[in-house]
Amino acid sequence: MSDDAISIGGREFVVRRVGTDAQNASAKVKGNEIVVRIPVHWPREEGFRAFLDLKRKIVRKLEARPKLFERKPIEFFDGQTLTLAGQSFTVAVIPGTSRTSSAWFSNGRVEVKLGVGLDEQKRMKHVSNLARRVISRQVLPWVNERVKSLNDQYFGFTFRKVFLKETSSRWGSCSENGNINLHFGLLFAPQEVMDSVIIHELAHLKEQNHGDAFWALVFKAMPDYKEKRKWLFENARRLGVSSMENPD
């Protein structure tokens, strides 16, 4: 791991290079840190080039739109109605009698029972976290089917499981075990934009870096890929997500 410092728009950032067992390199902004992860199994020169390239792209985007990197988690609240993956949800917050909060899905309602003794900030956090988990369980079969459909249509690779997460700062990732991880916020994006992330991660099942062979797979499946990812970057704040994935 190596660190250095850089000033962007009067704000100080520490740039950290971190080794990772992941298949591909990535970069993210976390608070006042720019974290660049480079696979430890990559050749030294390839890793160095990737580090410089990702650092340059992150810095350029921070200089252009610094507020896009101020993370704002997706929030849910009592009485909220929304449609995700073709399903309608209504969030209902119920006062509980124990110190433990819980949530479940019933007849289109995401019912969140809050534990007693929570301050307002913790109440909001519990509602959002529990509602997201319930909704994720409900829509995951649809997401699984979408990943399978795109894989069958364009690749025919083998993958294991699909997960929806909001803990990661990346829009998607592909594990060494063949698992596909997608950011929960993608459910709020247009279908073709979510598809662009799925295609990106499916291509990593075969090509574990961002070389020419990888991009050939991506653009063959989605010729307007760059247009979709540009939309995602420019509209991240509307999705309640603003900590960005590896800016490729």
Contacts of 117 (CB under 8 A, 6+ apart): 99
Return d(Cα 247, Cα 242) in angstroms, integer: 13
pLDDT at 66: 66
The model's pTM: 0.73
Contacts of 212 (CB under 8 A, 6+ apart): none
pLDDT at 81: 93
Pairing of strands 87-95, 81-84: antiparallel
Q: Which residues of the chain are under the pLDDT cut of 70?
A: 1-3, 10, 66-72, 167-169, 240-248
pLDDT at 73: 74
Does 81-239 carry CATH code 3.30.2010.10? yes
Return d(Cα 108, Cα 105) in angstroms, integer: 7
pLDDT in tens, 89-101: 999 999 999 999 9
Q: Distance between the two ends of the chain, CA-based, in angstroms?
A: 22
pLDDT in tens, 38-83: 999 999 999 999 999 999 988 888 888 766 555 567 889 999 999 9
pLDDT at 169: 60
Domain with CATH 3.30.2010.10 in the chain: 81-239
